[in-house]
Structure 1
Amino acid sequence: MNVVIRYWLVAGLALVFLAGCATQATLQDRDRARQGAEINVDLGLHYLANNNLEQARTNLARALDMAPDYARAHSAFAMLQVRLNNEREAERSFRRAVELDPDDSFTWNSFGAFLCGTGRLDEAQDAFRNALANPYYPTPEHALTNAGVCLLEAGQTKEAEESLRRALDNNANYTPALLEMARLTFNDERFLQTRAYLQRFREHREHTAETLWLCFRAETELRDREGAGNCAVRLKDRFPDSRETARLLELERRGR
């Protein structure tokens, strides 16, 4: 009897050992698959940023095949679908990503921007709030700015300004928020503030055709002919083929 008992104990230990080896091998396979998926997601995002959508699709599909439960792969695939104007697949992938990783503020922010772009403004604000709920979110100014833009789309100017000011409280040099505040204050006829926001924008980023056109209009409203002239000259010199330059030239032809 004792021999039999010892035999089963030894056999049981052997089974445990074999199971442990199998588990370790499985974990190693999963780790390799995840590492491969991470590489393919990085490649996919690189190709997406460079507008090589076909190669991006190849790498991101490969990442999902390697690690179907990898939230970042679903998030990146969603961004590709946004570029392809495939709203249904984009939403499905965004939802899968946040289901797998509910604390991923970057995906919540991207999902919110997507929802706002499809006119679902209330759902978008919920997504931005989810992004901001994570105390470890390193760039809350991104979600706050996107939320502000979305609120402007909804005609909620006061709430939009509050969100944009919060964004600048988090990062005073965040140029997208500075640009949105310049637009908002111009539309609200607060032209001195528009000037100030554009000056802060220029401290951290080169002017664009849009910001120079806004600068020209704000300085014109402030009756600063020299300031308006400087903005006009820079606009025509740097962006001669832009829509903004065409509008400026039309004004000059009319003698305004």
Structure 2
Amino acid sequence: MSGCVTSTDSRFQREADREEAIENYVRLATAYIGQGNVDRARVHLDRATELAPDAASVLAAKGLLYQVDSEDELAERAYRSAISNDEGYTRARVYYGAFLYGKGRFEEARDQFAAASRDTEYQDRASVFFNLGLSEERLEDTDAAVRAYRRSVELSRGDVKSLLALSRTLVANGDFAAAEGYYARLMGIMQRNSNLRHSPESLITGIRIARYFGDSDREASLALLLKSDFPSSLEYQQYKVLNADGQ
């Protein structure tokens, strides 16, 4: 019996070692893709493929590599295969959703991000909801975008990108009271972190909120920043239209 147990344990250990090796190869390949080092990424991905050619993680990483190489058809095929082989592998849906969004296929991207958002164990769920919000905005469903951005804010405990997106969409929906609350949180974070700077988007959002509440001093201060720092921006042109229309 001890011999059988030893044999079984050994078999499980070999399988565990194999799974760990695959995971490490995929992690390294993905990191190198992020750094733009495609050659090194390909080396590690080839090793992962030798061990598990049909693993969802391997196929998803292949999709990323194909995407970097502008092999869009192969990339999409790899993403689809990854999801088909393991519908629970959320990272493949996230990669595929980003791919679809980049191609302007917003409804399909929304569906992938929506499916990914239901995985409560996924580590970067806040980003999934943020991307879902972006997709909903492009589909002109601002109510759904607000719901997604609000969830992103909750999960991220106040990520500045999510706070700004939520403030902006609340303004677009005419909910200035809620927008003011989230925008105030954003300003508080910016004041405490000297590395954060206003963007044209954050400035025009603040201007719209300040104008709605009749806060002319705050509006003037933000407008001055927008004019001095981003005179060629679309947002500055929007501000000039606001003034011309008296809105």
**TM-score (ref. length: structure 1):** 0.68
Partner of 2:101: 116
Q: Structure 2: which 5+ residue stretches go unaligned?
A: 191-195
Cα displacement (A) at 1:84: 4.0
* Alpha-carbon separation, structure 1, partners of 2:150 and 2:159: 11
* Alpha-carbon separation, structure 2, partners of 1:177 and 1:189: 18
Partner of 1:95: 80
Which deviations, in whole Å up to 9, do the C-alpha atoms of 1:195-227 show, x marking residues without a partner? 432332344462442323433454355443332
* Alpha-carbon separation, structure 2, partners of 1:181 and 1:97: 32
The range that moved more, 164-173 or 94-103, is 164-173
Which deviations, in whole Å up to 9, do the C-alpha atoms of 1:107-132 show, x marking residues without a partner? 22332232233333343333233323
Amino acid across the alignment from 2:53: P
* Residues 163 and 182 in structure 2, CA contact (< 8 A), matched pair in contact too: yes
Picking from 50, 62, 65, the partner of 1:80 is 65
* Residues 148 and 160 in structure 1, CA contact (< 8 A), matched pair in contact too: yes
* Alpha-carbon separation, structure 2, partners of 1:37 and 1:64: 8
1:17-28 matches, cutoff 5 A: 28=14
Amino acid across the alignment from 1:228: E
* Residues 78 and 94 in structure 1, CA contact (< 8 A), matched pair in contact too: yes
Amino acid across the alignment from 2:206: C
Identity fraction in percent: 23
* Alpha-carbon separation, structure 2, partners of 1:90 and 1:115: 11
Matched, 1:128 2:119: no
Q: Structure 1: which 5+ residue stretches go unaligned?
A: 1-16
Picking from 144, 155, 165, the partner of 1:180 is 165
What's the RMSD between the two structures over aligned residues?
Answer: 3.8
* Alpha-carbon separation, structure 2, partners of 1:122 and 1:241: 32
Picking from 152, 155, 160, the partner of 2:140 is 155
* Residues 74 and 94 in structure 1, CA contact (< 8 A), matched pair in contact too: yes
Counterparts in 2 of 1:232 and 1:58: CA distance versus 1, 3 Å: farther
* Residues 192 and 222 in structure 1, CA contact (< 8 A), matched pair in contact too: no
1:185-200 matches, cutoff 5 A: 185-200=170-185
The secondary structure found in structure 1 opposite 2:166 is helix
Amino acid across the alignment from 1:214: T
Q: Tell me the number of residue pairs that the alignment of Structure 1 and Structure 2 aligns.
A: 232
* Alpha-carbon separation, structure 1, partners of 2:144 and 2:24: 40
Partner of 1:8: none
Amino acid across the alignment from 1:125: R
Counterparts in 2 of 1:126 and 1:230: CA distance versus 1, 3 Å: same
